[in-house]
Amino acid sequence: MKREDILLTLVLLLFVQGYLFRNVLPALLASAILIYLIYLRAGFSPRIVSEREISRKLKDGERVKTKLRVKNLSNNRLKIEVLENLPAGFKAERPSLFLDAHEEKEVEYFITPVRGIFRLKEPMIRAKDLRGLYYEDFMRDSESAIEIEVYPNLDRIREETEAGKALRFKEAYQSLFGLQTPELDSLREFQPGDERRHIDWKATTRLGELIVRDFLKEREGDVYIVLDAGKEMRKGIKNSKIDFATTLTLQLAYALRNYRAGLIVYDDYGVKRVEAARTRGIEQVEKMAAQLKIGSIPANLMGIKSPMPVGIKIKEESRKFIKKILPAIKGRRSYATGLIEAISSLPSTAFLIFISDITANTSELIKILLELRKRYKILLLTPNPILFYDEARLDREKLIWLYERYKEREEVIKKLNGIVRTLDLGPSDLLETIRSRGVLE
Partner 1 sequence: MIALISFKPLWVFRGQAVIAAAIGGLIAGLKLPLLLLLPMFVLGIRNNKDLFLLLFSVYALAIGYELEVSNLYELDLVKVLSVLIPTLLLLDAGLKSESEEETRGFTHAHELLIASGVTIAFVIGWFVSVVFVAAVFGALIYELSGDKARRGVFAALISSSLLLAALVLGQGLLNLEGGGATQAIFIAAVSTIIALMFLWRKRDRTEFKLYIRSGFIL
Stretch that binds partner 1, among 105-113, 123-131, 341-349, 398-406 (CB under 8 A): 123-131
CB closer to partner 1 out of 78 and 430: 78
Least distance from partner 1 to the Cβ atom of residue 142, Å: 21
Compute the radius of gyration of the chain from its Cα atoms: 34
Q: Which is nearer to partner 1, 41 or 57 (CB)?
A: 41
Q: Which of residues 62, 103, 136, 149 is near partner 1 by CB under 8 A?
A: 136
33 binds partner 1 (CB under 8 A): yes
Smaller CB distance to partner 1: residue 79 or 156? 79
**In this structure, what DSSP letter does residue 21 have?**
T
Q: Does residue 440 bind partner 1 (CB under 8 A)?
A: no
What residues between 76 and 115 interact with partner 1 by CB under 8 A?
76-77, 79, 97-98, 101
Residue 395 neighbours by CB under 8 Å, 6+ apart: none
Counting beta carbons within 10 angstroms of the beta carbon of residue 174, is it exposed (0 to 12), middle (13 to 18) or buried (19 or more)? middle
Q: Is 30 a binder of partner 1 (CB under 8 A)?
A: yes
Residue 371 one-letter amino acid:
E
Return the closest-CA partner of residue 33 out of 53, 55, 18, 50: 18
202 vs 133, 192, 210, 212, 214, CA distance in Å? 65, 20, 10, 10, 15
Nearer to partner 1, 5 or 317 (CB): 5
In degrees to the nearest 10, what's the CA dihedral of 293, 296, 298, 303?
A: 160
List binders of partner 1 among 162-221 (CB under 8 A): none
Distance, in Å, from the CA atom of 394 to the CA atom of 96, rounded to the nearest integer, reads 39
What is the nearest approach in angstroms of partner 1 to the Cβ of residue 42?
4
Whole-angstrom distance, CA of residue 404 vs CA of residue 385: 12
Binding region for partner 1 (CB under 8 A) out of 48-56, 75-83, 104-112, 379-387: 75-83
By the criterion CB under 8 A, which residues form the site for partner 1? 1-7, 9-11, 13-15, 17-45, 75-77, 79, 97-98, 101, 128, 130-137
